[in-house]
Amino acid sequence: MHPIVCTGGNIHYQIKHISHREAGTVAEFSVLIGGKAGDGISQAGQVIGSVFSSLGYHVYQYVDYPSLIRGGHNFCIIRAAESPVTAFRSGVDVIIAFDQQTADLHKGRLSDDGIIIFDTDRVKTEGLEISLGTLISKHQGIPIMGNTAMISALFRYLGVPWEMMEPVLQRKIPKSQEKNLEIARAAWDILSPSRELSIPGGAPKPFLSGNEWIGLGLLAGGLDAYVAYPMTPSSGILHFLASIADEAGIQVYHPESEIAVILMALGFSYAGKKAAVGTSGGGFCLMTEGLSLAGQAEIPIVIVVSQRTGPSTGLPTYTAQSDLLFIRHAGQGEFPRWIAAPATPEEALFLGAEAVRIAWKFQVPAFIVTDKSFSEGLFTGSSDLPDFPPHRVSAPAFPYHRYEDMPDGISPLLAPPHPGEVVKINSYTHDFKGITTEDSQITIAMVEKRKRKEQGLKEYTDQPQSVIIAGDEKAPVCVITWGSVRGQVTEIAKDNSFRVVSPLIIEPFPIKAFMAALEGVTKIIVVEESVAGQIDKILKEFGIVPDELLLRYDGRPSTIEELETRIRRVL
């Protein structure tokens, strides 16, 4: 195996790709589908993923696209395997090429027995030919129906029975369904099966984007309102929750700016509704004055930040883990907050709900920090829902004082209107009733009240389940990582005999649980997508000094092979 360059610059695919048969004992299959922006590549990828899911596979889909609406080069990699997958390989078994660029850019990824399925009208290469123009005009279809033809061609090539694919097409392509199915069948009939894909069987698993899994988590936590301004890669949450708002009985609103977003959400929260907001780094910059207000006035709120490559506008459609320290310290003054970082659909569902619970239990801002890879990647996940116990709210005493000085620092919440009572919220330092003060003793009392909340939050958070241990759990070599990168690291841990330790909750940092997870470790390698090494800096705050730092900062997530090569070099 030749080394590959991973940090910045062009990545050279010089390695001999692991094909589906060489990839250990687990049967798996990868498909790359590519074309121009506007060709519906991502949606076609989702249909392919859904077919694999219906055959009983676990599926992960990586979506790569530039920041433009028409043209450019879009591609998706759909990886299906018999065990859960959260990353993709360098190599693929099939490339579906809608344009020449797809064939030229990616043919180096093909496994030895891989093949390119391509549109002869637009692509010149070798492989499985299909003339979409001829097919579409023969059946009086429209160009976008070429996607259905290609999906059909893929599964025909793989030897999947028509009866197993057709119901998925019916479900996933509701528009002009009859014509789409006619064209799918025509493409099917032109080709003959060349391979025999194994069919694991079992119930199809839900296949959703990371953003959608987070959205479901917020719903599970009892969300009443979601307020957001569009910003890649977080917009998927806004679109998803808006699409199911009536069904779920929630309000979804898109106002004039992120400044308005967070203040509206705080208004919702004051009036007794559980509210969340979502954004990326730039939008979060605008939210910081509202964040500090939530800290001072002790207004519960959930904030989802999906990171993309910065600084500033950066690479809008590519990934990063470079906003963690900003989020951890954002806002003037000092106040407690909670930060969680999911890496799997089940974690997103659980943490989305937990964020709502924490925000309202401790009256603090609760963050879900994720990134483009997780937000816009698609994952099959479990359809078994855990129970989400209802929130228990402590009853206020009357006459009501919003900032009643309680032993745990948490004053009971009351939403207006309440007969004979007033609820006063204040961004100034305030007394127990919520009236502005500059008194030294009250200032100290209020600071210490918030400090006691932080202490309670620390105790609540520092539990074994706040730290994920994976891979070879007793190995002396440990890779520490967080967020979506854990998905890549975990897949190679067992084969390379290292332990994976990853904080699910990053603030307050669960140091006791983390130290327990590091028991017996003699070497620490940190893997993260930032140039400064942000989780590395947090670890050092707690006296944990890593031996190796593997950073990446070109906006692209590592493939399993890229990361494996880099980790092996320092093992």
Contact 194, 157 (CB under 8 A): yes
DSSP-derived pairing of the beta strands 365-371 and 301-307: parallel
535 binds other proteins (CB under 8 A): no
Among 36, 79, 122, 205, binds other proteins (CB under 8 A): 205
**Residues contacting 262, CB < 8 A, separation 6+:** 227, 277, 287, 290, 291, 294, 301, 303
Burial of 70 (0-12, 13-18, 19+ CB in 10 A): exposed
Q: How far is the CB of 85 from other proteins (least distance, A)?
A: 17
Q: How far is the CB of 65 from other proteins (least distance, A)?
A: 21
429 binds other proteins (CB under 8 A): no
356 binds other proteins (CB under 8 A): no
434 binds other proteins (CB under 8 A): yes
327 binds other proteins (CB under 8 A): no
422 binds other proteins (CB under 8 A): yes
**Residues contacting 239, CB < 8 A, separation 6+:** none
Tokens 């891979």 found at:
471
> Of 404, 400, 452, which is closest to residue 431 (Cα–Cα)?
404
Distance CA 106, CA 73 (A): 11
CB atoms within 10 A of CB 83: 12
In order, the DSSP letters of 13-56 are --SPPP-TTTSTTS-EEEEEEEEEETS-HHHHHHHHHHHHHHTT
Among 271, 325, 518, 549, binds other proteins (CB under 8 A): 271
423 binds other proteins (CB under 8 A): yes
67 binds other proteins (CB under 8 A): no
Q: Which is nearer to other proteins, 165 or 563 (CB)?
A: 165
Q: How far is the CB of 77 from other proteins (least distance, A)?
A: 20
Token pair listed for 322: 């470079």
253 binds other proteins (CB under 8 A): yes
- Which amino acid, residue 117? I
- Please identify, among the stretches 14-22, 91-99, 410-418, 492-500, the one whose residues bind other proteins according to the rule CB under 8 A: 410-418
The strand pairing partners of 227, in sequence order, are 253, 277
Q: Which is nearer to other proteins, 19 or 269 (CB)?
A: 269
Among 73, 195, 239, 424, binds other proteins (CB under 8 A): 424
Tokens 């790709």 found at:
17
DSSP-derived pairing of the beta strands 301-307 and 275-279: parallel
Give the CA diameter of the chain. 83
Distance CA 287, CA 280 (A): 10
Q: What is the CA radius of gyration of the chain?
A: 25
303 binds other proteins (CB under 8 A): no
Q: Which is nearer to other proteins, 60 or 498 (CB)?
A: 60
Among 98, 188, 229, 270, binds other proteins (CB under 8 A): 270
Q: Which is nearer to other proteins, 35 or 215 (CB)?
A: 215
Q: How far is the CB of 291 from other proteins (least distance, A)?
A: 11
Q: Which is nearer to other proteins, 386 or 520 (CB)?
A: 386
Tokens 């009443």 found at:
224
Among 4, 190, 286, 435, binds other proteins (CB under 8 A): 435
249 binds other proteins (CB under 8 A): yes
Among 118, 268, 374, 514, binds other proteins (CB under 8 A): 268
Q: Which is nearer to other proteins, 259 or 325 (CB)?
A: 259
Distance CA 149, CA 184 (A): 5
Q: How far is the CB of 387 from other proteins (least distance, A)?
A: 8
In order, the DSSP letters of 459-492 are HHH-SGGGEEEEESTT-SEEEE--TTHHHHHHHH
- Please identify, among the stretches 57-65, 87-95, 107-115, 426-434, the one whose residues bind other proteins according to the rule CB under 8 A: 426-434
- Please identify, among the stretches 130-138, 143-151, 247-255, 536-544, the one whose residues bind other proteins according to the rule CB under 8 A: 247-255
255 binds other proteins (CB under 8 A): yes
277 binds other proteins (CB under 8 A): no
425 binds other proteins (CB under 8 A): yes
Residues forming the site for other proteins (CB under 8 A): 53-54, 203-208, 212, 216, 219-220, 222, 224-225, 227, 244, 246-251, 253, 255-257, 259-261, 263-273, 275, 289-290, 293, 383, 385, 387-388, 415-428, 430, 434-436
